[in-house]
Every structure is written in structure tokens, then in C-alpha cells.
Structure 1
Amino acid sequence: MSSITFNKDKRIGKVLFIVEGLEDEMYILHKIFTQVFDYQYEKLNRLSKYKPYNVKDNPHSSIFVINTKESNIKDIENTDGYLDELFTKLINDYKFPVDKAAIFYIFDRDNKSNTNTRTFEKLIKNLKSSRDPNDYTYTQGLLLLSYPSIESFTAANYIDNTFEIEMDTGNSLKSYLHHFHKFTNQKINQDTILSAAHEMLRALTNIGIDDYNLDDFSATNLKVYEYEENHYSIYKKYKLLSLLCISLLDLGLINIED
């Protein structure tokens, strides 16, 4: 098994997470970046509620989390200008340099709520780097999916071989985890995140992925997506997998040694 270590002194600059959920994703990211790591964290949800946490003086590293307009992958396409307006608001009102930030899009591949496969394929191919602009949105951004939902990350914090568990929807997975009162986001810590990272790597290996390029994650992302879609087409369920830990690898906050 690969050895995974944490790099808690890493300067990561400005980091923007764009998520679809109002609660779970924001809570998980808050837990990771203020309690496991010690970074300034700010959130602005789609209800225009802003709140800073763990505020630092002139922080060299900070996290900002925002919502898309609705809980749907199509909102990343930004056809109504919502994200552009939100980026402008971050720059003007909160002095957050969006153009210089690493950007991650955290979304669910729940076939009941996000149904447009063409949209997924297009975004996977284009949102391939957290820091390098693409020819689609003309901004940087890396799309990281959870199958079927962000609760797969929660499960991976506590359950061994989570990739062998199958669920059709995020709601089904929530109900499953609800039966295990100790498997909660509130109990996430450094040790459980270590487990989640190992579970993600084990899942990638099972898919046939032993290497990947964080500067252009599209090929790996597409291989995972096609594997999960093929599995769903046969069994009507996804194998539990969240790629959230890729963001920690990309930021240099966790290191992998064989």
C-alpha cells in the first residue's frame, strides 16, 4: 500500500471551491481546511449568506467556497452569466483574486438529479486543470465528481473497500450511512481523511488507473466516468467513489509515496 503523508505547512495561495450543495460539501470543506489544516475559510452560498472562519491576518493561503445557482451540473456552463457575476462579486466585494486562484468544481454524479451525460463528458474534457485556463470557460478549473454523491467521501472516511459498495442515488447512500451513527461528517479528522485518500487510490487501481497527470486530469477523469457509467448501465447502481481527495493532492496538502 502507498504511504500518504500530510503537508500542513504548505502555502497553497488562494483556492476557490464551487459546489452544488448548500450544506454537506460546505461543511466537509470547512472541516478539512480549518480543523485538519489551519487555513482561513470563507463561504458565500446561493442565498447570499457570507461567513468567514478561522480568519488570519494577511493570509498567504485561504479557501473560498461558493454555490452554483442550483444543484445541477448544467450551472457550470454559466449560460445565464451567474458564475461570472459571482466571480465579479468575489473580486470586488471580498477582494478574492479569482483569476489567480486554484479552482475546483465539486459535483455529484447522481443519475436522478444530474441527467445530461453530454454535459458531463464536455465538462470533464474541458475542466481539466485547477490553475490553467481552458478554451471552454476561459478560466481555470478542475471538475471532481463523486459517485453517486459527496457522501461517498464520507463513507470512505470510515468504511474499508467502499468501492465494492453500490448505490443508485445520493439519497440511498445517505439512508445507508444514517444507520451507522458514527459515520458522520462531524467526526472527520486527519486519520479518517487518510483512510479516504487510501480508498480513492484503491478504487482508481481497481479501475485500472495507476498513474495520472494533475496538470491535465481529463483523461483520468474520463476513464473513471466511463467505468462508472458502464457499471450503472448494467446494474443501475454506481460503485462508491469520491474524487475530492484529488484536490488535496493537487494542492500539495497530501503526498503519496510508493
Structure 2
Amino acid sequence: MKFFKIITTLLFFIFSTQNGHSQQVDSTKTVANFSGTIGLTNNGFSIIPTFSLNNPAAIVLLSWQKKRWSFDPDIRLVPDASKGSMLFWLRYRIIEQQKFSLRVGVHPAFNFVRRKVADNGKTVEITELLRFVAGEVAPNYQISPNWSVGAVYFYGKALQKHGPQRTHVLFLNTSVSNIKISNHFRFQLVPMVYFLYPDSFKGTYLSVTGILSRKNFPFTLQSTINQTFNSDIPDNKHFMWNVMVAYNFSKNYKRI
């Protein structure tokens, strides 16, 4: 439960900084932005949805952006931190136009997995730390203010000799936002097809995320489903889903 204490402390810090920000003078120039999502879910999905923790988890997605650069920690852990992942993205927006954008990024990744080992003639389960480095290329096109299409090519390489060594993924996605449900509630739909190639295996999947939000309210309710079209990846699950309650925030830092 120590991890959830950290989440509580982080939420307190965010609320405090946002309250302080509301008292600042607005006649300034924005130089950086700090934003993020902190959520609790019944089933923690990886950035590649088919890799699930199969347990309740805390999800922390943060972003510190200054000009075209951003630093984006991505932390997904079960309550006792025995399973999960910690990614630390460094991203750069090569092209940032009104309609089209192109982003590249790299990150080190630390995955916590459970593994059985022999100890004095007995089989015990331990948490093992797996290390990876990865990169991405992500073009995006804004068709209208509430509709965009994009793609992400992702490549990851292991830093240990055992387990998955190389992973290629191509994501094709679209996002339709600000769908009016009532005067106060809005809905966002994010369908995605992706093609996964870990080592000599392959799989094709559909992932759909729906996000329900209320105007001027920081909490959202979202759910993701992940459906396998075809796959020969070991331990692949044909269908998975989750629900997450999340707190969202954004704070601009300005130069006086």
C-alpha cells in the first residue's frame, strides 16, 4: 500500500500548486506546462494493451512540456508494486502545425514481473526487474477540432539476455472528442488497431477506449476493451477490459 500513499501525496501536491496558481496574475507569458492523469483501475493495461497486469493498479501519466520538448513519466503498478512498469519518455515535436504534427520519443523502461525460481529445493515466486530501451515515431492529423487520426510506430529492445528481446508495434488510431451527451457531460471515443511483433511472434488487435467527462470537473470515468483478431503470442488473452476513475490536471508556468 506504500505506492497508494505516494499517489495520495502527489494528489495533495497537485491540488496545492493549482490553488496557488489561481492567485497569480494572468498578464504573463507561458513558458512551460505540467499536466497529467492519476487513476485507479480494476485491471492495469500496458501501453500495449494486450500486456495486462491482470490486477487492480494505479496509473500515473505525467507530462512536463517546454516548447517542443516534453518529459513524460508513465507509471503503472499494482498496490504492492510487485508487478507493473515505469517508463520515462523524452519526446520532441519535430513538426507542430495547426493540422499536422510529428513526434519522436525515446525512453528507458523498467518492468516488474513475477517469476518462479528454485531456492534450497523449494519453488518460490519473486519479482524480477526487466530493463528495456525504446523509441517511437508518431504522426497525427487533425481533421477537425474534435476529430483526429494518427499512427505510432514503436520499437523496444531488451537489455537482458532472457525474455522478449525485440518488439515492434504499429498503432493506427483515431479520436472523436467532445461528443455531447447532455449540457454538462461529454464523451470521447478512441478506437485503435495495432499490429504487434515480439521476436518471432505476431498478433493483430482492436482496442477501444471511451472516456466520460463533465465540464469544469477534473475527474473522468473511462473504460478500455482489447479484442484479439489473431495471435500466436504465448499466454495471449482473447478479450480483456478495464474501468478507470481518473483525476486530470493541467498547470501553466508563466514568466512575469
Same-fold call, TM > 0.5? no
Q: Which structure has the bigger radius of gyration?
A: 2
- Greater relative CO (CA pairs within 8 A, separation 6+): 1
User: Which structure dedicates a bigger proportion of its chain to strand?
Assistant: 2
TM-score range, shorter chain: under 0.3
TM-score (ref. length: structure 2): 0.27
User: Which structure dedicates a bigger proportion of its chain to helix?
Assistant: 1
